[in-house]
């Protein structure tokens, strides 16, 4: 950190770019600043003091509460067998009842898009093990997910070499990064890229061995 207030602000707000391979949440910076300001007022006017861990925890809670009020954002990443980028896309969805519904809609969208590109062999990865089991017929679909899963199954039936597999979130930070970036888009039109965005290149390279 430096003696310049503006330099320090810049550094906090760009942690993800400077430390792309670390667990730096680029959306948390503004919420930390907001929580520090609120803590300052609490200390001045009520004499209440908060330590660093509780400040970070409250900042995360503020951020998650705000994000839960926004419409859902889903993102997809298409890579070849060597991990090279083929396509990235992001799309806003209407407010849904749960995260697993958002994930199911993302899978349905991915299968439709890739099928339209005429790819012959596709593995769709999701970090929801429960949803994976429902799509693959291991578990019965939840009633509210049944129409979406039925549509996914129908799409997969026309693409014999397509399959849905479980893959932990920790191994796919690229998709999470795209979802976070899509929160800043001013337009609600779905975004589709065939060229690597600058803000994604370092993460994609880091995940290639996976």
> Over the chain, what is the mean pLDDT?
78
The residues, ordered by sequence, that sit 6+ positions from 31 with a Cβ below 8 Å of its Cβ are 59, 60, 62, 63, 66
Residue range 151-175: mean pLDDT, rounded: 85
pLDDT in tens, 92-125: 766 566 778 888 988 998 898 888 888 889 999 8
**Per-residue pLDDT at 24:** 46
8-39 confidence digits (pLDDT tens): 777 766 765 565 544 445 567 778 888 888 88
Domain ranges of the chain: 5-69, 72-207
Q: Inform me whether the pLDDT recorded for 186 exceeds 60.
A: no
**Of residues 180, 202, 204, the one with CA closest to residue 27:** 180
15 or 80, which is more confident: 80
Second CATH level (architecture) for the domain 72-207: 2-Layer Sandwich (3.30)
* φ/ψ bin of 137: left (φ > 0), alpha (ψ from -120 to 50), beta (otherwise): left
Least-confidence region, from 51-65, 73-87, 117-131, 176-190: 176-190
pTM over 0.75: no
Residue with tokens 């810049």: 10
């Amino acid at each position: 950190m430096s003696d310049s207030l503006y330099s320090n602000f810049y550094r906090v707000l760009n942690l993800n770019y400077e430390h792309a391979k670390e667990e730096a949440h680029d959306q948390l910076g503004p919420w930390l600043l907001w929580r520090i300001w609120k803590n300052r007022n609490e200390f001045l006017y009520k004499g209440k003091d908060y330590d660093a861990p509780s400040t970070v925890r409250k900042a995360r809670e503020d951020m998650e509460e705000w994000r839960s009020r926004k419409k859902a954002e889903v993102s997809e990443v298409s890579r070849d067998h060597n991990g090279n980028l083929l396509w990235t896309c992001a799309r806003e969805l209407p407010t849904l009842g749960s995260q697993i519904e958002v994930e199911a809609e993302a899978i349905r969208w991915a299968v439709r898009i890739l099928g339209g590109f005429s790819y012959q062999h596709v593995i769709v990865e999701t970090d929801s093990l429960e949803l994976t089991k429902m799509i693959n017929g291991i578990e019965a679909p939840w009633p509210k997910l049944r129409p979406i899963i039925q549509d996914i199954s129908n799409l997969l039936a026309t693409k014999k070499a397509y399959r849905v597999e479980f893959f932990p979130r920790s191994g796919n930070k690229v998709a999470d990064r795209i979802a976070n970036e899509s929160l800043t888009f001013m337009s609600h039109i779905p975004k589709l890229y065939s060229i690597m965005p600058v803000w994604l290149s370092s993460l994609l390279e880091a995940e290639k061995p996976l």
